Structure 1
Amino acid sequence: MIQPLRIAVADDEPDIRQYFHRLLPKLGYEVVGEAENGMELVELCRTTKPDLVITDVMMPEMTGIEAAAEISKSLTIPIIILSSHERPGSDDGTANIKCKYIVDYLRKPVSIPDLQAAITRACSAA
């Protein structure tokens, strides 16, 4: 039996984390953990070593971009960034991203087809 893709989710909004916690298993994925800020995400990735990360850009303590950069120092995990802004770099701190493991950007609210397409792209980039 093929193991489901193991995904870590980070967002400072509990309802967004709950949405992914409910949705991802229905799509055949395993949620290995949730974080409410970038620092927690870094630690979560170090301990669970997920196959994929889905993270919000703007979070307390450490942004999703900063967390992605920190994670990529020691782990090779594709990362999907979520943003409530129209496009990356508009005014959410993503203009000067230099993390090669960020494979996609999704605008909130995330549609299921867009999420599945981003996960597929992330898996093929890994």
Structure 2
Amino acid sequence: MKPPTRTLRIAIADDEVDIRDYFTALLPRLGHRLVGAACNGRELVQLCLAEETDLVITDIMMPEMDGLAAAEQIARHQTELDSMVPVIVMSSHDRPQTKDKPWIVDYLVKPVTIDDLKGAIDNACHLKD
């Protein structure tokens, strides 16, 4: 597998431990660094406020706070810092309406394959540059 042009610091969130474990193992294989794995949107927001993050990958349907609400809070904070962390959302359901949410750069359907993940991360890298 060809290494990425740069290593990204990535935060993930999913309420399913198997999926968090999958991403924890997969992201370093793709040449990126996992800054943390949250089990709900509230933890994801706290993680992104505490850690410098280049990209967020989040499930949509989670307890306490869903991924879209978490992404919006992260985006609001980033706007205050005059930057924007791109967000990739994933779900096993239909694609949500995200046209009015410029921070959401891609949508993945579960189960997420390594090729789908790599393509979404590469796309997010190009949008961030």
User: What's the TM-score once normalised by structure 1's chain length?
Assistant: 0.89
Partner of 2:86: 78
State the SS of the aligned residue for 2:77: coil
Q: How does 1:28-67 map to 2 (within 5 A)?
A: 28-67=31-70
Tell whether the 8 Å contact from 1:72 to 1:99 is kept in structure 2 after alignment: no
User: Unpaired segments of 5 or more residues in structure 1?
Assistant: 89-93
Deviations 1:44-78 (A, max 9, x none): 00010210000000001111000010000012100
Partner of 2:114: 112
**In structure 2, how many angstroms separate the alpha carbons of the residues matched to 1:53 and 1:36?**
13
Deviation at 1:3, TM superposition (A): 5.9
Deviations 1:68-97 (A, max 9, x none): 100000121000001111x30xxxxx2366
Deviations 1:83-114 (A, max 9, x none): 111x30xxxxx236632110000000011111
Structure 1 residues 96 and 118: CA distance shift in structure 2, 3 A: closer
Aligned length: 119
Partner of 1:68: 71
Answering whether residue 30 of structure 2 is matched by residue 27 of structure 1, we say yes
Partner of 2:9: 6
Cα RMSD (Å) of the superposition?
1.4
State the SS of the aligned residue for 2:76: coil
Tell whether the 8 Å contact from 2:98 to 2:104 is kept in structure 1 after alignment: no
Opposite residue 14 of structure 1, the aligned amino acid is V
User: Unpaired segments of 5 or more residues in structure 2?
Assistant: 79-83
> What percent identity do the matched residue pairs reach?
53
**In structure 2, how many angstroms separate the alpha carbons of the residues matched to 1:35 and 1:71?**
14
